[in-house]
Structure 1
Amino acid sequence: MTTTDWLTDVALVLVVFRQLREGRLDLRSYLIPLGIVAFVASQYLHTIPTAGNDLVLIGALVGVGAALGVAGGVYTRIRGAGGHLFIKAGAVSAILWVLGMGARMAFQVWVDHGGADDVGRFSVTHDITTSQAWVAAFVLMALTELVTRLATIFVRSRRATREPQPSMGTRPAATALDHTV
């Protein structure tokens, strides 16, 4: 792994730590992580191999990324205050993010330090045709995890803004159900 590889992988892992502290949900909340993943994709995703079972590998890891992303978005707290929305990644959300991004980094370290032969045998056995299939699978997994997490947060934030929040000191109007015995 090059220094750039390490810095990129660490930046992807650290993205979630920015959200462990509650912050305002705004355009930057979406653009910064998307910018990092777009950079990663532009640096590493040169082609998407389609021969053999390359698409099966890619599809499987994209599916894992989607599941991690949706779950991470669900476990991110969203609250309204003062006309603004605030988000905070919960422990589950952070663990899922680090698990997804860390798996890519761990795989890369393992391959660089003795795992290449095992990956090669697995690839031959399962008709995965090139190392670029592995690169594409992990990059698309990361991209999918991020996009589905942000999409889940976006959908949840739209629902949060539509749900009226009772203000302090006011009591909701009585309904017919309030007077039943």
Structure 2
Amino acid sequence: MTTTDYLIAAALILLVVPQIRGTRLTIRNLVLPVVLVAAAAAYYLKSVPTQGHDVPLYVVCVGAGALLGAACGLTTRFIRDREGFLVAKAGVVAAVLWVAGMAARTGFEYSATHSGAHAIADFSRSNSITGSDAWTAALLLMALAQVIVRLVTIRIRARAQQSEVGRLVRA
């Protein structure tokens, strides 16, 4: 792993800080995490192989990312700020899941370029995974799924909460 790799991983992990402090549900806060993961994908992604069992690997990784994202979104709470805007605040569980997902991918990358390279190569051969490009694509798709599903889950929950408040006010 290069210094750039560590910096990108740290930036993605540190996205948890504003989540813990709380963020208004704005377009910027909706788009920024997706842009950061897309930038990482643009930096790392060279191809998306589809031979062997690469596609099932992608499906498993996207599913794992989606589960992490949904769990992060479901364990995020909402409060109103002083101006009455809805603010999403990640709790301990959401923060731990976010960091765990990002750190697991970084740990895999570190392992793949260090002591775990031989084991990953053996696993890839025995499971018909074509190589490092497939793993890179799978892990980036996992991160993207985690980010998008978290954002969608939070937006759906926020909309439901705002609708409930509207119903209570009218009643």
The secondary structure found in structure 2 opposite 1:128 is: coil
- Please say if residues 79 and 160 of structure 1, whose CA atoms lie closer than 8 Å, have aligned partners that are also in contact: no
Aligned to 1:72: 72
The secondary structure found in structure 2 opposite 1:20 is: helix
Percent identity over the alignment is 44
The secondary structure found in structure 1 opposite 2:38 is: helix
State which structure, 1 or 2, has the greater radius of gyration over its C-alpha atoms: 1
The secondary structure found in structure 2 opposite 1:50 is: coil
The secondary structure found in structure 2 opposite 1:163 is: helix
Aligned residues: 169
1:29-54, CA deviations, whole angstroms, 9 ceiling, x for partnerless residues? Answer: 11221121110111112321110001
The secondary structure found in structure 1 opposite 2:21 is: coil
C-alpha distance in 1 between matches for 2:106 and 2:7: 11
C-alpha distance in 1 between matches for 2:23 and 2:147: 18
1:11-30 correspondence to structure 2 within 5 Å: 11-30=11-30
1:1-181 correspondence to structure 2 within 5 Å: 1-81=1-81, 82-164=83-165
- Please say if residues 80 and 161 of structure 1, whose CA atoms lie closer than 8 Å, have aligned partners that are also in contact: no
C-alpha distance in 1 between matches for 2:23 and 2:51: 44
Instruction: Tell which deviates more after alignment, 62-71 or 77-86.
Output: 77-86
Q: Normalized per residue, which structure has more helix?
A: 2
Structure 2 stretches lacking a partner, 5+ long:
none
- Please say if residues 121 and 131 of structure 2, whose CA atoms lie closer than 8 Å, have aligned partners that are also in contact: no
Give the aligned residue type for 1:41: A
C-alpha distance in 1 between matches for 2:44 and 2:112: 16
- RMSD of the alignment, in Å? 1.7
The secondary structure found in structure 2 opposite 1:123 is: helix
- Please say if residues 48 and 133 of structure 2, whose CA atoms lie closer than 8 Å, have aligned partners that are also in contact: yes
1:48-87, CA deviations, whole angstroms, 9 ceiling, x for partnerless residues? Answer: 1110001111111111000000110001112345441111
Aligned to 1:178: none
